[in-house]
Structure 1
């Protein structure tokens, strides 16, 4: 290694001394007052947002708190340099302009975006906000699209600057604002990036589920559906990036982040790193807005209060779903929130005038459910939010060593899970024959999903209680709940709809509930094949084999379906492919055992595929699977995702 000589060190030292003498020293006054950054971050972007009871603002003396509040209000209202931060934007102004221009180009598809969002009123069973509110937002963009001819020309630079300026301002909601007037604050001349990101993500998800497919039926169509979906995801994600940097957090920010997370989840899957990161940003901004707390201000409009509750309940559910699937800590804990569940109200009732809304609230029962056996979008939110509270309790004890105390806690949760199911309104509790009755298939779909969300809690409990000390073939509770989950999942595979792709929902349920429950049943078949131990009388071996065979056929077909998200290169391809091969090996071995002599020492290991999911928190799904030497010997089972606690 070359080492500089002593004379070299001296020369370098002299040069440093000369350089330091020629540079002016830092002057704080000059830096903050006289030297203005050309692209300084405004103070409004750095506002702290919600501050809780242990925050610095609660600890400071009253007069200082008042000063901070006054300074905050002044900084929001002032355009002066005194209220700019002492650093510049991470993205230069030209970069922000370029990104916003690309986002606005998506409005050349405005008729399609408008059509698909209007169709949601017919098909969507769950929405982050009341659908009329979203329809108002997309309709409110129409005048801007027409005025600037955005369907046929590139965005006007003046519009680009206007959007950036609007998005950098706080979104203040006046007291007494009516629901039907909200869109005026953030669309039309007040167009904001948050609204664009929200609309693009919502429309992209709807297109993924097959809505408005007729727009792409013409072979001469200038853009394919897959390219359109990709463009909308890119534009929506660009909006989230820009808003994170320039926009004070507001309600529309959260709506945008939730829809973008859900859209990203469809494209990258539950195992995709972008999905995890998107939800992290959503949870952070939710806390910053204080959406985990019931508002204390006396004049919050009732429609906004119900919308806040609805948003939180859906985020709370997604938190538990993602954390369970990846085996990671939750981000939204019920211990740190006092937000109530949304009332079981229709979207139109929430958007109505205050008198009509209060009449609808008065018609609910003592628990907040509607009494007219209506299937409402909020009904599904309420049900699954209740189920998610039990999931959090289970996750809290999942890492504990199983002892008598933990077992007692789990059994108590199990009891309350059953009681809460019985307490749900009867028409919301799934029954297998619902598909044959005069009920919308989209309602039946949600009945299944709500059922799976609730009873998967029981599945996790039974897996935690199963320590492998007794044969799984004698574990009636675990086998029963696994059979119920897999059977309900498979019913979705038989439904076909020309306008809405239920098959995509089916594959999601396969990933979340079908494969884990099937793994338990496959393990039981392996054990029964080795030991000849009988299944409990209420569990049919033949029916178990039939359900596994049907699941295998669906997993195999998913690799060839446009709408499955399981084709090569798509989110769930590897997961479904590996699960399909594992289940196929087991079923083939059970039905067609080898006829050659097998020694006792090798009989149990020749095809002992370890599918003991949830055997301990943190274990990889399919970990330890070993195939006999053959064409599948090169499968990297360690790369599988996790179904861990």
Structure 2
């Protein structure tokens, strides 16, 4: 990012090489040669000035000081300057007039101009993830002059001043959370109980420790409020400095660029968003909050403060990996508090996807060893989660996806454990030798990454099914449906044998809850994809209700397995099970009910079987019986869930009434059917862990619009 203009001292930043500086072009600061000089064929001219700015950087990548000593020095350095009278007033924060364009592909005007400038063709071998700078922009702003530019600069300074004050408010909340040990307690309880499946879990410990170190002197300073303003301004200035990435950077060195003297708003925002997600999962009573009202208030404060951090990063035109992780966690937080149908959640997911595109992560990632292994895999992980979430929400809401495999390089993370990210050299190579040519581990270990990899496979198939539903007419839909059926079966058969286990073996073998949950999810995504294919076929008249009825019955029964066998799974929270019910169970239940309703199409042969009919009604009754405690009135999806339950009850009762009247039998109701009752100890059940990043959605209820995926509208039409 460019520095302040109009006479204000310039904040510290990374220097451009001499050719880029003289040409007033953005430099990616590559060492020993930046990408622009490499593309121009002038590597000998790519030199950097030794002391380009008045202020030197406080941090050098790869410092050899011990971590504890660095943290102590950081705390001392921050504390020495937080008192208002101990240091000259830092310059006013000024935003940039010229935005960071981010990654631009081969069809962009920027690429055309670059091609003309160097007189050569587009170089497809340049790693696009390295080209966009996340800090310094073209230095054309240095030449901005005249009355109009002066007015613009004044307005930018005023906006920056307002943001500094808002930042101080965020830091005040952060100080309160740290003083009362709320953040520490939440993350300590979460460690080993589900936090590890979040993409930002590797950064929690260094980020939280650094924030605590930096905030400690603020609490002890004489001028508390003034100290918060000083610290807020310094976080903004640090966030304007680009990060250095090369093939030799280690994970601790990567984290250091966002902590200590380099503490940024993305760092603070990620911790607040993760804490908010933790609060959304752990219901009261809890050591941190005694009542649901206290939990809701704390969660809303964390949501509001993390939103401010996101707006700070957006105003500074920041594009880096931690920001994308932060935006993804913020999206999960919005969906938990506002519901999956909320436009706020949809918009936050769009913001994260825009940052993904702006960073170029949708293109090749591992060119010529320019990126360290952990960062390549981290970016693959980010892409996998955003792609899967985009397809899931698009199916859930019946809207076109933002990410398409037609325009992206689909990145599938390797089947490794999270601790592999911290390995280098021989230790890393030894771990990688445990993988086969497709990236699966050969040790037979059931890992969390297996679920992410399988969800990517099913997401690509679901994208094609979604295109068949929302897209234009296809000449041969029968062939399209047949191809989709073949693809999902081939994908299932290509899974390693220790993952594609029969349904009974998921529960029969005693194994850790995390492994059982992984096997359960793999089969759940398999059944869900088959169901979506059959639903697509039924929409276009190329399928039959027999197939849809059978697949829906299998999917609903498998969802019920999670409800009745939950003690064997990972420590799931109520909202995790509720999402599985709404995204997987309710669509299956809707299809079953639609097949059973007398007002639907001709009844399938399966419905003529008394045992099949009783099993379908029993499965629906089991689902209904578990829906009372999956949501409370403060949850974002409460109205959606309540409406779905009411409609399902009406469908079951209406179907039973017609069935018993025709058979001349006594009146029966769902309550007379054998079901498995919910647990009596729901308080303990509330504390189970939430794993939202593994969401793989299905068409679900949508009360605001009518489309092919709106099962609830179909129910209403049949009943009303």
2:521 corresponds in structure 1 to 449
Query: Secondary structure of the residue that 1:122 maps to in structure 2?
Result: coil
SS of equivalent to 2:95:
strand
1:367 CA drift (Å): 0.7
Which secondary structure state, in structure 2, belongs to the residue aligned with residue 148 of structure 1? helix
The answer to whether residue 452 in structure 2 is matched with residue 381 in structure 1 is yes
SS at match of 2:535: helix
User: 1:102 is matched with which residue?
Assistant: 169
Map residues 248-327 of structure 1 onto 2, 5 A cutoff: 248-295=318-365, 296=367, 298-327=369-398
Which stretch has the larger CA shift, 168-177 or 328-337?
168-177
Match of 1:573 in 2: 638
Asked if 1:477 corresponds to 2:528, the answer is no
Which of these residues, 336, 348, 352, is aligned with residue 407 of structure 2?
Answer: 336
Distance 1:77 1:178 in 2: 29
335-344 or 143-152, which deviates more: 143-152
* 1:312 Cα deviation from its structure 2 partner: 0.5
**Residue in 2 aligned with 1:182?**
254
Q: Is 1:398–1:617's contact at 8 Å kept on the other side of the alignment?
A: no
Asked if the contact 2:132/2:359 (under 8 Å) is kept, the reply is no
1:587 to 652, 665, 668: 652
Stretch moving more, 293-302 or 150-159: 150-159
| Residue matched to 1:29 | none
Instruction: Tell me if 1:49 matches 2:119.
Output: no
Give the one of 617, 621, 628 matched to 2:711: 621
* Cα pair 2:560 2:623 within 8 Å, conserved: yes
Q: Is the 8 A contact 1:103 1:235 kept in 2?
A: yes
Indicate conservation of the 8 Å contact 1:529/1:590, yes or no: no
Do the aligned partners of 1:125 and 1:376 also contact (CA within 8 Å) in 2?
A: no
Could you say what secondary structure the match of 1:588 adopts? helix
Measured in 2, the distance between the counterparts of 1:238 and 1:499 equals 33
Query: How many angstroms apart in 2 are the aligned matches of 1:624 and 1:199?
Result: 42
Task: Give the Cα–Cα distance (whole angstroms) in 2 for the partners of residues 415 and 70 of structure 1.
Answer: 40
Q: How far did 1:171 drift?
A: 2.6
Aligned mate of 1:172, from 244, 263, 281: 244
How far is 1:140 from its partner?
2.5
SS at match of 2:340: coil
Give me the whole-angstrom Cα distance separating, in 1, the residues matched to 2:620 and 2:636. 23
Which residue is equivalent to 2:40?
none
Cα distance in 2 for residues equivalent to 1:269 and 1:372: 40
Gaps of 5+ in 2: 10-90, 120-129, 663-698
- Measured after TM superposition, the shift of residue 595 of structure 1 is 9.3
Q: Shift of residue 360 of structure 1?
A: 1.0
Please give the per-residue CA displacement for 1:124-146, whole angstroms capped at 9, x wherever unaligned.
27635363333222222231132
Distance 1:425 1:115, change over 3 A: farther
State whether residues 46 and 248 of structure 1, in contact with CA within 8 Å, keep that contact through their aligned partners in structure 2: no
Shift of residue 233 of structure 1? 1.0
| Residue 234 of structure 2, aligned match among 158, 162, 166 | 162
When the two structures are aligned, how many residues end up with a matched partner?
A: 571
Against the structure 1 CA distance between its residues 626 and 244, is the aligned structure 2 distance closer, same or farther, given a 3 Å change threshold? closer
CA distance in 2, matches of 1:449, 1:284: 28
Shift of the alpha carbon at 1:48?
A: 1.0
Instruction: Deviation per CA, 1:548-568: give whole Å up to 9, x if none.
Output: 11111222x13xxxxx4x333
**1:209-228 correspondence to structure 2 within 5 Å:** 209-210=281-282, 214-216=286-288, 224-228=294-298
Preserved contact between residue 130 and residue 350 of structure 1 (Cα < 8 Å): no
The CA deviation at 1:162 is 0.8
Shift of 1:541: 1.1
Find the counterpart in structure 2 of residue 561 from structure 1. Answer: none
- Hey, what does 2:84 align to over in structure 1? none
Aligned residue among 447, 454, 458 for 2:530 = 458
Determine if contact 2:400/2:470 at 8 Å carries over to the other structure. no
Once the two structures are superposed, residues 34-78 of structure 1 have per-residue CA deviations (whole angstroms, 9 ceiling, x without a partner) of 9999865326x7121112111223212557369xx9998995597
1:414 aligns with 2:485: yes
Instruction: Calculate the aligned-residue CA RMSD, in Å.
Output: 4.0
Greater relative contact order (CA < 8 Å, ≥ 6 in sequence): 2
Q: In the alignment, what sits opposite 2:561?
A: 491
Deviation of 1:230 after TM superposition, in Å, equals 1.4
Contact 2:339 2:636 in 1 (8 A): yes
For the residue of structure 1 that corresponds to 2:712, the secondary structure is coil
Q: TM-score, normalised by structure 2?
A: 0.71
* Range 433-442 or range 619-628, more displaced: 619-628
1:114 CA displacement: 3.1
Change in Cα spacing, 1:538 to 1:307, as seen in structure 2 (3 Å) is: farther
TM-score by length of 1: 0.79
In 2, the alpha carbon distance for the partners of 1:589 and 1:239 equals 51
